[in-house]
Each structure stands twice: as structure tokens, then as C-alpha cells.
Structure 1
Amino acid sequence: MQTPEASQSESASPDVTNESIPEPEKEESKATSKRKRVPKGAAPPALSLDEAAEIITRFYEEAGGEASYDPLSSIMGNSSASSVFTKKMAALRNYGLIMDENRFVTLTPLGFHVAAPHDPADRVEALKEAFVENEIFARAYERYKGRILPQDEYLVNAFAVWVPKELASEWMEKFKSSAGIAGLLEERNGKLQVRESPKKPEPETEEPAPTKPQEELPQLLPQINTQPQAIQSQPVLRSESSYDVLIRILSPDMEEAEQEAVWTLIRFLKKQEAK
């Protein structure tokens, strides 16, 4: 005969066995999945800054700096429906070089300064600005500017603080190649130093034309004097279109309404020139 205590123990046992106990396999798979998942924004840009600059320069030369996805897809060599194209577009936006709305892409004022600069110095300044638009690049730049970069085996540890460890090496390489094109790296005694300001390109010097010996001058003078009309009738070559001049006016310091007014004029002039 069972005692009341035994009966109560037996009736309680089913409740214990029916409790939801996590299975070790499921817990392990969740942990593995969590380790493999990369936080949003942690992956390095799909394009280094030099690659991004090359793409938007071609986009400006071939499509005028504004068009649908098709020209960019052709330039990149990727279908606009592919994930690679999406990642490259994200990189261009991350550098502050393009605006992308409803599958229509326009270069930003910063993008125009990279693709169609006033002069080489203007391009270098614009590339530096695009470089620090990337948050991780900006952190590394602020940490090392004015200093010699550590060797790779130590430098990668700094990036591992900001991004997942397995991506730190790729971030480091993208940082170095992008800083180089922005004029922020220079070699000193076999080591790389991060400059505080971009290295200005050296001005191009034109070699003087070789002078003719004095005895040849009398022979040239009659030829010059006998063809004044031919010289005057030569057409003046246009070096740039009207909207190119307006593009150079664009600046990040302009108000949004001012930028839109300039863009309206550019679109109007492009339509007039196409007629």
C-alpha cells in the first residue's frame, strides 16, 4: 500500500520531466551562428578609395556624372542585380561620392571634385575628405597621423579593436591603399608615415621650346608676315562645356537650395547642347 507521500512524489514527477530543457546541440548551433555573424557595417568597403575614384571618374567621362544604374554596372563589370554591385554602390556612398535615389545616381559635389577637379591639388584635397568619410579609416588616421605606422603584425591589432578580428587584416590593407591615393602616406627610411595633411602634387613645369638660331630668323619672318589672315581665321578651341564651368562652382559649403539651382542650370544646358 502506497503512502500519501509516495503518491504525491509520483504525481509530481511528470511535471519535472515535461519542463523545457534546452538541448546542448541547439545551444551550440546558436553560439556558432552568433560567432559567424558579422555586425552591420563591420565589413571593409568593397572598393578601396583609388578604385572608387577610378569608377566615378569614368562615370563622369562617359555619362556626365548622372545616370541610371546601367553605365555604372557596365563600368564595374557587375550586374546591377548582383550583391557585388550593391556592395560597391554602398562603398561609393560611404565615401560620400554619389547620391543614389530611385536607381538614379548623381555625383555629389565631393564626387565632382574627385572626377573633374580644378587642378591636381583640388583632387588630392577631395580624396582626403572622401577618405575620412569612412569611420574606421578616420579613426586610424586620427590615431596615427604624424607618426610612423607600426609593422603589419602590430597594426592589425589596432584594427581588431574596431572591427571583428577576422576582418582586421583586410581593413588594414584597404586603409593603407586608400591613404596612399589620398596623399596621406609617405615612405621614410623604408617605413610608412601618416601625413597630417595631404601631400601636394608637384606643379607641372613646361619645358621651354627650343629656340632657333639667329641666322634662321630672317627666313622665318617672311613666312609669318605673308599669312596674317590664315592665322586670324583659325577657330578658338573650347576646352570645356558650359555645364563643366557650373560643375566647378559646386561646393560642399553651398546651401541645398543653391546646389539645386546650379543643377537645374546644368541639366538645362546639357539638353540645349544635345539638340
Structure 2
Amino acid sequence: MAAEEKAPKKKAPKKKAAKKTGAAPKYPRHAISKVLRIPEAIFAQNAGQQCTDRESAPFVGVAYNGPYQVELSSAIKFGLIHRPKPGHVAATELANKIIRPQDPQDKIDGLREATLMAPDISSVYQHYRGENLPDTQFFNNALTDKFKIPTDKVAEFTEIFIATLKTAELLEEHNGKQRVLDVSQKLAPEGTSDNTIKKMGKAAKVDSNDSCFVIMPFADPIGSYYKSIYETAIQTAGMKAVRADNDIFATGKVMDQIWKGINDAKVLVAELTNKNPNVYYELGLAHAMQKPVVLVSSNEDDVPFDLQHIRVIYYDVSDPFWGEKLIKKVAENILSALNNPEEAIFKSAPA
């Protein structure tokens, strides 16, 4: 009798792979004004001393749950509380400076220090300091492309970023735009800008023979900024500074020399203050060649309307640190323009 045929075994259904969730955002998930309540409560209820995470919740007047744990994480990222040991938190000296100021400037300085400590928020601040924030579309693109903020978190990050900068008085309204104030000279950790420039220079692969052409008026006082500000900034970025009057006007037709200087340059800097017609003309040539240009002005009125979608550095000569700030900012923006030329090249509106 033939052996009974065995029925084929049914294959067990494949288990669906669990969906991978993206990494948790690095930035604080709350604005600084919200999480200040944690160190305030620890000071009020526990003299600022350490307590367990769970003990801190009733101090604040909330339940100890997932959302509160995220809030604790945000306060830590702002440097308002720290962990003396696992599972415990205590208020920091920075929080004490904000909550119990000994000087009229302590609170605002403390809020600004906390802002500069926060991951991502600090990076975006450093990038746009001294500039107007771009329009929403361009800002969103920068957040996802340059700062790697997940697309589905852009709206949340923007809300937290704007609210935090307003609390720290780091935003000012200028003709309907939001200007990011530059306080990095006073509050940023020493060497922050130098380290940023080194990293950006490495990414841009600049060579000491690469030239940066400076478009600016020749007459003082602005003309004197070439030596004191722009040449120094360009050398800081690792490049060679070139200006028409001093460097390439020796022979030949003036316009030919300007054309060659602009054409040979890897990047340009344009000083727009006082609406100098020669500056505008040379800037037009640079834009016609699709060259990246770093725009600089002491005021917004001197920036043509059709250039305001491009990043512009604004400086204030009444600030005692304006020269040092401008040198570092121009150096950073030169390298940024090389790494991301789309943010520094003029694109006319489609017909």
C-alpha cells in the first residue's frame, strides 16, 4: 500500500516589520517660557536642591507622566536644570540667574545664555544672527536641508524657536521682517565662531588662492572698512581679498578689469550702505554671472526690494563690538555661500 502523501506544511505568515520611527528631535520640545516653571517650582518648594523626577512633578503642580518627562528634557536642554545623579534633577546657577536676578541685566542675559545652549535652536540662531529671518518657504527649506529638522517637525520647531527668541529679546521687528539680534560676542562660548568657520571652510574646500571680490564704495568712512573689516573677514575664511581700486586697476580698461575681477572670484561681498550706484552696477554684473554674493548693509532701506529674499548681514556701528561681530559674520557667510550657493545667488522672478 502506497505511503500516504503528507499535506504540504503551510508557511507561517511573515511578521510585519515594525515601522521604524525617526530619531527624537534634538531641540527642546517646549519654548523656554514654558519650562522655566520647573526650576521656579524647585526653588520655591525645595530650595533649588535636588529631588527625584517624580518628586518634582507635584512641585510644578502636574502629574508625573510622559508629557512631563519631555518637559524635564526640554528644561535640561536649556541648561535650567541638571542631573546630579540618574533620576534626579536640581536647578542650575543659570536658572538662579534668571529667576533670582541680582542685576537688572541678569534675567535677559540668562535667558539668552539658555537659548544659546539649546541644541538646534542655537545653531539656527547663530546662522541667522545679524540678519532678517527669511520668508516662511525659504526658512522651512533651510530648516530641513541645512539643519536636518524633520519635515513633520518644522512647524513645531519654528513655533518654539520664535517664542524662545522673543522671550530672550533676540528678535526685533524691522519693516515687517524679524531681525535676529547678534549677542554672540558677549554670550557665546569662547571659540564658537572660530570652530564654526573651521568646519565650514573644510566643507567648502577653499584654497588660499581663491579670490573673493569686494564691491564697495571707495570714499571714507565706508571705504576704510575694506582693510579693517572685509579683508580680515575674507582672510579669516581662508581666501584672498580683491578690490578694484587697489588691486586690479593698474592697467587696462576699468570695466574690463572689473569684469575680470568678478569673473575670477569664487564668491563676492557687496557693501550696500548709502546706495552707491557703482556698487549696484557691479552687483548687477555679479548677478548676471550667477556668482554667489554676500550682501552687507548698515540699514534695510539701502537694500533693494528685489534683493531682500537673499541673506543680508545688518550691522550697527553704535554697537561697541560691531567690527568684531561683522568680521566673523562675513567670514561665516562667505563660506556658507560657497557651501549653499542658492542662498546667495540672485534669481529673478519668472515672467
User: Structure 1 length as normaliser, TM-score?
Assistant: 0.55
Q: Could you tell me which of 69, 85, 89 is aligned with 1:105?
A: 89
Q: Alpha-carbon deviations, 1:197-240, whole Å to 9, x = none?
A: 29xxxxxxxxxxxxxxxxxxxxxxxxxxxxxxxxxxxxxxxxxx
Are 1:89 and 2:75 an aligned pair? Answer: no
Aligned to 1:45: 28
Aligned to 1:188: 174
- Is this contact kept in 2: 1:63–1:71, CA < 8 A? no
Please state which structure has a larger fraction of its residues in helix: 1
- Is this contact kept in 2: 1:43–1:167, CA < 8 A? no
Of the two, which has the highest radius of gyration?
Answer: 1
With over 3 angstroms needed to count, the CA separation of the structure-2 counterparts of 1:96 and 1:78, relative to structure 1, is: same
1:213-224 equivalences under 5 Å are none
Q: How far apart are the structure 1 equivalents of 2:101 and 2:112?
A: 13
- Is this contact kept in 2: 1:44–1:167, CA < 8 A? no
Q: How far apart are the structure 1 equivalents of 2:131 and 2:81?
A: 32
Q: How far apart are the structure 1 equivalents of 2:30 and 2:124?
A: 18
The alpha-carbon deviation at position 103 of structure 1 amounts to 4.1
With over 3 angstroms needed to count, the CA separation of the structure-2 counterparts of 1:60 and 1:141, relative to structure 1, is: same
The size of the alignment, in residue pairs, is: 172
Letter in 2 for 1:151: D
Are 1:141 and 2:125 an aligned pair? Answer: yes
Are 1:66 and 2:49 an aligned pair? Answer: yes
With over 3 angstroms needed to count, the CA separation of the structure-2 counterparts of 1:54 and 1:78, relative to structure 1, is: closer
Aligned to 1:33: 19
Letter in 2 for 1:106: A
With over 3 angstroms needed to count, the CA separation of the structure-2 counterparts of 1:125 and 1:102, relative to structure 1, is: same
The alpha-carbon deviation at position 195 of structure 1 amounts to 0.1
SS in 2 for 1:135: coil
Root-mean-square deviation over aligned CA pairs: 2.9
Are 1:79 and 2:32 an aligned pair? Answer: no
Aligned to 2:150: 164
User: Structure 2 length as normaliser, TM-score?
Assistant: 0.44
Q: Could you tell me which of 110, 126, 137 is aligned with 1:126?
A: 110
Counting aligned pairs with the same residue, the percent is: 23
Q: How far apart are the structure 1 equivalents of 2:128 and 2:86?
A: 39
- Is this contact kept in 2: 1:146–1:194, CA < 8 A? yes
Aligned to 1:117: 101
With over 3 angstroms needed to count, the CA separation of the structure-2 counterparts of 1:122 and 1:85, relative to structure 1, is: same
The alpha-carbon deviation at position 145 of structure 1 amounts to 0.3
- Is this contact kept in 1: 2:98–2:110, CA < 8 A? yes
- Is this contact kept in 1: 2:42–2:59, CA < 8 A? yes
Letter in 1 for 2:172: E
Q: How far apart are the structure 1 equivalents of 2:86 and 2:23?
A: 27
- Is this contact kept in 2: 1:187–1:193, CA < 8 A? yes
- Is this contact kept in 1: 2:82–2:92, CA < 8 A? yes
- Is this contact kept in 2: 1:44–1:174, CA < 8 A? no
- Name structure 2 gaps, 5 residues minimum: 1-10, 185-351
